[in-house]
Amino acid sequence: MFNTRKIFPLAALALLAVLPQLPVPEFWITQLNYIGLYAMVSLGLVLLTGIGGLTSFGQAAFVGVGAYTTAVLSTRFGISPWLALGVGIVLTVAVALVLAWLTLRMSGHYLPLATIAWGLSLNYLMGNMEFLGKYDGIQGIPPLEVFGISLNAGRSIYYLIWAFAVLAAIGVSNLLDSRPGRAIRALNGGVTMAEAMGVSTFRYKVVIFVLAAILAAVSGWLYAHFQRSVNPSPFGIKLGIEYLFMAVIGGVGGVWGAFTGAAVVKIVEDQLQTLLPKLMGASGNFEIIVFGVALVLVLQYAPKGLWPAIARWFPAGPRLRDWGGAPPLESRSKPRPGELLLEVDKVRKEFGGLVAVNDVSFQIRAGEIVGLIGPNGAGKSTTFNLITGVLGLTSGQVQFRGEAVGGLASRLIARRGMSRTFQHVKMIADMTVLENVALGGYLRSHAGAARAMLRLDRAEEKRLFAEAERQLQRIGMAGQMHELAGNLALGPQRLMEIARALCTDPALLLLDEPAAGLRHKEKQALAEVLRQLKREGMSILLVEHDMDFVMGLTDRLVVMEFGTKLIEGTPADVQASPEVRAAYLGTEH
């Protein structure tokens, strides 16, 4: 048990706890207080930017909401700061929800633009409203009290600041290693895969933005009672950008990057603020030149920031296998063999004037493997995307298990038991194979962000991992479950996608070119896996190029050419068909 992974955090925590009792100069206690406050805000940005692929320049404004709320309520109305914290959080959440609702359904860059505008607007409001003390701000904020102890000195509020900071870090760490955490990690780099696993990506974008805003507001509340006064300047757009800078320089990919970044930026900023004006012979915020250039250089040369270099000293071991004997996840009722499963009825897709899929119809019955083949550009993948809801139908209908699913969002179709893989593997490269497959169990589990942060989701997590391991065993990949998905070769990555799709407990499995790019042996292994799935009663729709692969595997084939269905029949019928030969090889003249 005595590994550096366990000892280091405990030692750091112990050092944090005794530090104010040691004869450390007041200056460094103040620095540490600021670092704790800043780290909380940049922690939110790590979640938002590094994990979720969104960003915000308005975090300083949320800090301001937390600070001003408690300043006004505690000085003007004598309301308890703890109540004011609640009010501040409610206000913050309301603002964050409005901004999220306005921007998050559009491309990712509208959120940061909206947060710039929001940050500027709020700053001008603070500076111009009589009620908020204009540019002078509000003075005489009472100190916080905990159990009757007044936290009126830097050394005493230190404990509260760091208690919040450490709890926030633990909460976010817990969140990232959980069902909602995997969904959040799937946001970065496109939403199609997450949606296909049943994740409402919009909802999780909102969740992380609101969480980041709450962290900022709590930091602001602590700041107000630490400084005992507020004015608009620390909540402006400059600080908003600096918080992002902290997250990026520290390492936007993990929780501890936020702390590294906050510490480095705060300490360097102090040095620069005394050094640079002397150097330039004038007063001013010259440190922003250094920060700006450093930010660009970090993104160019070390986009993962400083933390990964530190983290190398504390290598993470494999996940402890603690899910033995966990009860299985609930599974859906399976269709009876031969039952009509999927009915594609004259589906059509037009892109402008181009008809990509032209009134294609076919059916799949439970227990069948159906292949969808055709030359390049025949519209196979588009048909696939129409069935799974990734693309909208121009006309036509899709019935799945007797229910019309045409026009539904792909996550709603996934909920009904249709699961798919992708032509170009879509995975979370920095998660292990096991975690990637566990994402497939998203719809069969329920834990939300709050339960995950409080670690109340462990029983369900065990069931998820047990299921993920079972699916990996099913396709013969259990030996690689602790590998990072990004380190796998293409063949195993495709198999992993199949395991992930199986983890959703599908009634129909749709595989988009599963054999593309595989070596001969890998193709044979894949074919064996698919045969085994068929023996177990799985129904499969397969888009494929490789004729040998398809002919030996499928019950029926649907051949497409130029967006139109050419012929449908058994592999033997299709092989004998002159039309198919013409489509693939051309005709003799």
Partner 1 sequence: MDLSIASILMLDGVTNGAIYALLALATVLVFAVTRVIFIPQGEFVAFGALTLGMLQLGQTPGTIWFLLLMAVLVAVLDLVAGLRQGRPLTRVLGGVLKAAAFPVLIALFALWAAPQKFPLLVQAGLTLALVTPMGPLLYRLAYQPLADATVLVLLIVSVGVHFALTGLGLAFFGAEGFRTPAFWDASFAAGPLMLSGQTLIIFAASIALIISLWLFFERSLYGKALRATAVNRLGARLMGISSTTAGRLTFTMAAFMGALSGLLIAPTTTIFYDSGFLIGLKGFVAAVFAGLASYPGAALGAILVGLLESFSSFYASSYKEVIVFTFILLVLLWRSLRDPHSEEE
Q: Under DSSP, is residue 346 helix (H, G, I), strand (E, B) or coil? A: strand
Size of the site for partner 1 (CB under 8 A): 53
Q: Could you tell me which of 572, 581, 516 has the C-alpha nearest to residue 546?
A: 516
- Told to check if 377 binds partner 1 by CB under 8 A, we report no
- Told to check if 113 binds partner 1 by CB under 8 A, we report yes
User: Residues 282, 316, 320, 354: which binds partner 1 (CB under 8 A)?
Assistant: 282
Q: Phi/psi at 14 (nearest 5 deg)?
A: -65, -40
Kindly tell me which of 76 and 105 has the beta carbon lying closer to partner 1.
105
User: Residues 99, 208, 210, 239: which binds partner 1 (CB under 8 A)?
Assistant: 99
Q: According to DSSP H, which parts of 228-319 are helical? A: 237-250, 255-280, 287-301, 307-311
Contact window for partner 1 (CB under 8 A) among 18-26, 108-116, 334-342, 362-370: 108-116
Please give the Cα distance from 27 to 6 (Å, whole number). Answer: 30
Are 208 and 72 contacting, i.e. CB atoms less than 8 angstroms apart? no
- Told to check if 108 binds partner 1 by CB under 8 A, we report yes
User: Residues 34, 38, 57, 259: which binds partner 1 (CB under 8 A)?
Assistant: 57
Pair of tokens at residue 185: 């990690």
Report how many helices (DSSP H) and strands (DSSP E) the chain contains, helices first: 23, 12
Smallest gap, in angstroms, from Cβ of residue 250 to partner 1?
14
User: Residues 5, 6, 76, 105: which binds partner 1 (CB under 8 A)?
Assistant: 105
Smallest gap, in angstroms, from Cβ of residue 392 to partner 1?
9
Are 409 and 469 contacting, i.e. CB atoms less than 8 angstroms apart? no
- Told to check if 109 binds partner 1 by CB under 8 A, we report yes
- Told to check if 124 binds partner 1 by CB under 8 A, we report yes
Smallest gap, in angstroms, from Cβ of residue 307 to partner 1?
17
Q: Could you tell me which of 234, 264, 241 has the C-alpha nearest to residue 31?
A: 264
User: Residues 241, 341, 496, 580: which binds partner 1 (CB under 8 A)?
Assistant: 241
- Told to check if 192 binds partner 1 by CB under 8 A, we report yes
Contact window for partner 1 (CB under 8 A) among 109-117, 151-159, 324-332, 504-512: 109-117
Contact window for partner 1 (CB under 8 A) among 284-292, 312-320, 472-480, 525-533: 284-292
Smallest gap, in angstroms, from Cβ of residue 104 to partner 1?
8
- Told to check if 300 binds partner 1 by CB under 8 A, we report yes
Are 256 and 307 contacting, i.e. CB atoms less than 8 angstroms apart? yes
- Told to check if 65 binds partner 1 by CB under 8 A, we report no
User: Residues 55, 381, 419, 539: which binds partner 1 (CB under 8 A)?
Assistant: 55
Are 407 and 392 contacting, i.e. CB atoms less than 8 angstroms apart? yes
Q: Based on the number of CB atoms within 10 Å of its own CB, is 284 exposed (0-12), middle (13-18) or buried (19 or more)?
A: exposed
Q: According to DSSP H, which parts of 403-480 are helical? A: 410-415, 433-439, 449-453, 458-474
- Told to check if 284 binds partner 1 by CB under 8 A, we report yes
Q: Under DSSP, is residue 330 helix (H, G, I), strand (E, B) or coil? A: coil
User: What is the pattern of x (binds partner 1, CB under 8 A) and - over residues 404-443?
Assistant: ----------------------------------------
- Told to check if 112 binds partner 1 by CB under 8 A, we report yes
Contact window for partner 1 (CB under 8 A) among 237-245, 448-456, 510-518, 524-532: 237-245
Contact window for partner 1 (CB under 8 A) among 13-21, 94-102, 263-271, 490-498: 94-102
Pair of tokens at residue 292: 């700006």
For tokens 């992974």, name the residue. Answer: 5
- Told to check if 183 binds partner 1 by CB under 8 A, we report no
- Told to check if 118 binds partner 1 by CB under 8 A, we report yes
Amino acid at 229: S
Q: How does DSSP classify residue 114?
A: H
Kindly tell me which of 112 and 379 has the beta carbon lying closer to partner 1.
112
DSSP string, 52-64: TS---S-HHHHHH
Please give the C-alpha separations between residue 256 and each of 182, 262, 325, in angstroms, as whole numbers. Answer: 18, 10, 34
Q: Cβ of 580: how many Cβ atoms within 10 Å?
A: 21
Please give the Cα distance from 418 to 420 (Å, whole number). Answer: 7
Contact window for partner 1 (CB under 8 A) among 285-293, 393-401, 494-502, 549-557: 285-293
Are 363 and 501 contacting, i.e. CB atoms less than 8 angstroms apart? no
Q: Based on the number of CB atoms within 10 Å of its own CB, is 480 exposed (0-12), middle (13-18) or buried (19 or more)?
A: middle
User: Residues 4, 121, 139, 532: which binds partner 1 (CB under 8 A)?
Assistant: 121
Smallest gap, in angstroms, from Cβ of residue 520 to partner 1?
31
- Told to check if 305 binds partner 1 by CB under 8 A, we report no
Contact window for partner 1 (CB under 8 A) among 4-12, 82-90, 111-119, 502-510: 111-119
User: Residues 79, 93, 97, 117: which binds partner 1 (CB under 8 A)?
Assistant: 117
Contact window for partner 1 (CB under 8 A) among 53-61, 81-89, 359-367, 571-579: 53-61
User: Residues 17, 91, 93, 125: which binds partner 1 (CB under 8 A)?
Assistant: 125
Please give the Cα distance from 401 to 339 (Å, whole number). Answer: 8
Smallest gap, in angstroms, from Cβ of residue 198 to partner 1?
17
User: Residues 28, 91, 110, 462: which binds partner 1 (CB under 8 A)?
Assistant: 110
Characterize 124-158 residue by residue with b for buried, 16 or more Cβ atoms within 10 angstroms of its Cβ, and e for exposed. Answer: eebbeeeebbeeebbeebebbeeeeeebeebbbbb
Element (H, E) at 392: none
- Told to check if 54 binds partner 1 by CB under 8 A, we report yes
Pair of tokens at residue 283: 């007063």
Residues of the shown chain interacting with partner 1 in the complex, contacts defined by CB under 8 A: 49, 53-55, 57, 98-99, 102-110, 112-114, 116-118, 120-121, 124-125, 128, 190-192, 202, 241, 244-245, 248, 280, 282, 284-296, 299-300, 303
